[in-house]
Amino acid sequence: MIDKTVIISSKAKIENDVTIGPYSVIGDHVVIKKGSVIGPHVVVDPFVEIGSNCHIFQYAAIGASPQSLKFKGERSKVVIGDNCHIREFVTIHRGTEFGGGVTKIGNNCFLMAYTHVAHDCIVGNQVVMANNATLAGHISIGNHATVGGLVAIHQFVRVGDYAFIGGKSAVTKDIPPYVIASGDRAKLHGLNQVGLKRHGFAKETVLQLKKAYRLIFRFGLTLNEAIERVGAEVDHLPEVNSFIDFIKSTQRGITR
């Protein structure tokens, strides 16, 4: 059902079984896939693709031009995956040419009220962002990560898979996968053991991740020394390898 007050561009593509509430505006070259619900007073600007079975609540603003002084009006887009819940007053901005041209939200994500996703961010699958969490530009958020309320993340920061960032944290460096971070400025507080348990990680996997974590962050070793000891003393499980590879590939530095 599409309310009679909705304004839809003739260049938009709305698939079957889409609901759009009163006074919403759907811009040029927007694609909304089947089963999605767009609430009242939502603005979807040009070049946005919304996946199937999403629910976007009232007053959200999706696809506005990026808040970047380098942006010169070039064509860029927002891509939102399937089964996402995007709550009231969420803002998601299009990408920029110099940042890859796309802002992307994965599948099964839950963005609570007033969250902001800036230009060129890549948000993985099954990510939760609590109220007022804010991503600056060029941030990547791994799969199954949780970003707490009132968290602010600096541009170009990476957050790894299954990481948990506690509320009201300021994040200026990369957060490795599988850990908990919180504070101003954010610091690490061990593995996200509750999250790993809920997602069915084997006890042996958690044990090996804990060994790797302690060697790198608790023994006072240099990063190179710690990585060498992890290679010699910790089982080379895929999760351990991804943990180490993330740390080795940092550009902004690792939160400790």
**Sign, Cα dihedral of 128, 193, 244, 200:** negative
Which tens digit of pLDDT belongs to each residue from 154-185?
999 999 999 999 999 999 999 999 999 999 99
Contacts of 175 (CB under 8 A, 6+ apart): 157, 158, 159, 160, 163, 165, 181, 186, 188, 255
Q: Which of 81, 71, 49 shows the shortest CA–CA distance to 62?
A: 49
Which phi and psi (to 5°) does residue 2 adopt?
Answer: -120, 120
Please state, in angstroms and rounded to a whole number, the distance separating the CA atoms of residues 16 and 14: 7
Provide the pLDDT for residue 169.
Answer: 98
Contacts of 92 (CB under 8 A, 6+ apart): 60, 61, 62, 63, 78, 80, 86, 103, 105, 111, 116, 117
Sign of CA dihedral 40, 146, 91, 66: negative
Total tally of structural domains belonging to the chain: 2
Instruction: Report d(CA 54, CA 144) in Å as an integer.
Output: 18
Average pLDDT over residues 17-44: 98
Structure tokens at 146: 């949780």
Q: What pLDDT does 151 receive?
A: 98
Q: Are residues 135 and 200 in the same domain?
A: no
> Could you tell me the pLDDT band of residue 127, with boundaries at 50, 70 and 90?
very high
Q: Which of 27, 39, 63, 120 is catalytic?
A: 120
Residue 226 lies in a domain: yes
Domain boundary pick from 100, 118, 141: 141
Q: Are residues 208 and 110 in the same domain?
A: no
Which backbone phi and psi does 57 adopt, to 5 degrees? -85, 175
User: What one-letter code names the amino acid at 98?
Assistant: F
Give CA–CA dist 133/128, Å, rounded.
Answer: 10
Q: Which of 21, 99, 106, 137 is catalytic?
A: 137
Handedness of CA 198, 199, 205, 210 (dihedral sign): negative
How far apart CA 66 and CA 63 sit, in angstroms, is 8
Per-residue burial over 133-156, b = 16 or more CB atoms within 10 Å of its CB, e = otherwise: bbbbbbbbbbbbbbbbbbbbbbbb
High-pLDDT (> 90) share of the chain, %: 98
220 given a catalytic annotation: no
User: Is residue 234, in this structure, part of any structural domain at all?
Assistant: yes
Mean pLDDT for 109-113 is 98
Can you tell me the distance from the alpha carbon of 230 to that of 208, in angstroms, rounded to the nearest whole number? Answer: 10
pTM for the structure as a whole? 0.96
Q: Output the pLDDT for position 85.
A: 98
179 part of a folded domain: no
Q: Rounded to the nearest 5°, which phi and psi values hold at 209?
A: -65, -40
Residue 137 annotated among the catalytic residues of the structure: yes
Q: For position 248, what pLDDT does the model report?
A: 96
Mean pLDDT of the 28-46 span: 98
Please check whether residues 108 and 202 belong to one and the same domain.
no
At 163 the pLDDT is 98
CATH number for 70: 2.160.10.10
Letter for the amino acid at 210? K
> Is residue 46 very low, low, confident or very high in pLDDT (cuts 50, 70, 90)?
very high
Mean pLDDT value across residues 209-222 = 95
Whether the CB-CB separation of 93 and 66 falls below 8 Å is answered with yes
Q: 33 with 108, same domain? A: yes
Question: What is the per-residue pLDDT for 242?
Answer: 97
* In a domain? residue 78: yes
Structural domain harbouring 98: 7-141
Give a yes or no: residue 232 inside a domain. yes
pLDDT, averaged across the chain: 97
Confidence band of 47 (pLDDT split at 50, 70, 90):
very high
Give the bridge partners for 79, in sequence order. Answer: 49, 104
Instruction: Look at residue 161 in the predicted model and tell me its pLDDT.
Output: 98
CB contact set of 245 (below 8 Å; sequence gap of 6+)? none
Residue 116's beta-bridge partner residues?
91, 134
User: Residue 55: which of 112, 13, 93 has the closest Cα?
Assistant: 112
Active site residue 119: yes
Q: Which of 45, 51, 116, 119 is catalytic?
A: 119
